Amino acid sequence: MTPIVPETAPWCLPAVADTHRPRVVLPAKSCDCHAHICGPFERYAYAPERIYTPPDATLADYRRMLTALGVQRAVLVQPSVYGTDNTAMLDAIAEGGSWLRGVAVVEPDIDSALLKKLDAAGVRGMRVNIVDRRARRNEIVLDELLPLARKIADFGWHLEMLLQADAVPGLAETCAQLPVDVVLGHLGYVHTDKGGADNSGFQALLRLLGAGRTWVKLTGPYRISAEELPYADLIPMAHALVQAAPERLIWGTDWPHVMMKKTMPNDADICDLLADWVPDEAIRHRILVDNPAALYGFAPTD
């Protein structure tokens, strides 16, 4: 049965199914730190308040793509279409095994018993998406966030926030008050047509990285670039992040690329962007292997 899709939650394009081999050879134990499992929709109902509707993007589909890339570890991030129902993600982690970790979305009043179950299931972080929502976009309410951050601190989790770094006043001050590390997606989500690496918000993000408790994901270049693949206009941003804090960077495909507004890329081409973003192989190894192992708690045998 096809789900009922309101006009305000349009269908997304599907990811490219035939992933070719990338030119860049990734090191063993490389980790895709940002991907979503969506569907099958017959089994996992989407939240009615969602703003998009993805086609099925299952664990089997995802595994085929990672095999083509040569990636052995991955982190599944709860997509906004499921709200706080993490079932699809948790089922995928349970099926996949120890090479998978998760970042969940939870209710503010969640208790320690449920957090403990999520931790045992492989969850290592909590996501707060303040971009893909209908109201209070890019607004952080510290009084609401702080109690939840204190709860997850007991489990050694981090807080992943999807926000536009240049649109959130006082981001550094907010992060300083949180008792957990903070992870920001999509190179800080500062659009290249708003100044890119010279944007004052991006420059503030570079300083925030230097403080030692904030991480940035090298993900979703098509979400911030004004160009098509290879998104060359954001190379200065990637270089600035690498220069500022290579020990605080991780990478991800952003598969299955929901809400794609440009030409759908082959994930091998997303992978090959690393050659320009991070030309030094030793630093690439750190970003692809060492940093994810530390942040998500992968064991050497995972």
- Strands (DSSP E) contained in the chain are 31-35, 73-77, 100-104, 123-129, 158-162, 182-184, 214-218, 249-251
How sure is the predictor about 107, in pLDDT bands with cuts at 50, 70 and 90?
very high
Residues 95, 92: Cα–Cα separation, whole Å: 5
CATH class of 31-296: alpha beta
Give me the chain's average pLDDT, please. Answer: 93
pLDDT, mean of residues 73-102: 97
The per-residue pLDDT for range 159-204, each reduced to its tens digit, is 999 898 998 888 899 899 999 999 999 999 999 999 999 999 999 9
Residues involved in catalysis: 254
* 251 pLDDT more than 80: yes
Instruction: Tell me how far apart the alpha carbons of residues 291 and 294 are, in angstroms, rounded to a whole number.
Output: 5
Q: What is the pLDDT of residue 7?
A: 55
Domain ranges of the chain: 31-296
Whether 6 has a pLDDT exceeding 70, the answer reads no
**What is the per-residue pLDDT across 17-52, written as a single tens digit (0 to 9) for each?**
999 999 999 999 999 999 999 999 899 999 988 889
Q: Please state, in angstroms and rounded to a whole number, the distance separating the CA atoms of residues 77 and 55.
A: 17
For residue range 127-153, list pLDDT tens digits in order. 998 775 555 555 666 778 899 999 999
Strand pairing class (123-129; 182-184): unpaired
